[in-house]
Structure 1
Amino acid sequence: MPPAAMVSNALGGQALRYVINGLVATAVHYGVLRFNIEVLHIPLAAAANALAAVFGITVSFLGSRYFVFRSREGSLARQGSLFLLIYGSIALLHALVMYLWADRWGLDYRIGFVLATAMQMAVSFVANKFLVFK
């Protein structure tokens, strides 16, 4: 197999695993959110969501390290720190896109959310591949 085809296959496999990992992490986040609200009766949705996000982000990190990028050799502390830094930065960028799209330009927030989330996914994949789990 030519080198370019090998790279394409590797990236395609990582991209598919990235989507699967994202779906699993999102399901965990949502499941913990529902548990927090419906079973634990946490009265503030924002607090319930913040706690649930910790679980979702943890699943995303572990899935990225062991399933998506299969980067077990790197320092867990270094990778975890970079992962959190990148996710924090991306969250701010996501908020900025939503602010500009919906609040400043008055456009439909649902479309802005989809666009911001697509941007978030692309930036996250590239940053994780080349910075965190290289």
Structure 2
Amino acid sequence: MLIRRFLTAAALAIALPLCAHHACAHEGAGHNGGRIADAGPYHIELVTKGKTVEVTIYDAKEKPVSPAGFKGTAILVVGGKPARVVLTPAAARLTGEAEMALGANPKGVVQITGPDGAAASGKFN
């Protein structure tokens, strides 16, 4: 019984920090104040302001990746309905405009396609 408790505690000690930084979307963790999610080999940060969607792409070491050659789509839930936003490179991130205000923390998925044609997606709850 003592060994089982020890193994359970050890597993939680390992899993919780991984969730906090890699496996789960979480608010306020991004360099721009947004939420971070894993998307294949990347981490993506989602920030919404009014109708604007901004997605910053980071490598595995959380260094910003140039958005040149990337494209994406954000599918966010607004008022119970999906809002599709096409994302294109602009400055240091992918950006797009929705047809309506999105709120600060919409739920949904961001899909990105890299310059090599590989697609990945990150989920935001």
- With structure 2 as the length reference, what TM-score do the two structures score? 0.27
- With structure 1 as the length reference, what TM-score do the two structures score? 0.25
| Structure with the largest fraction of helix | 1
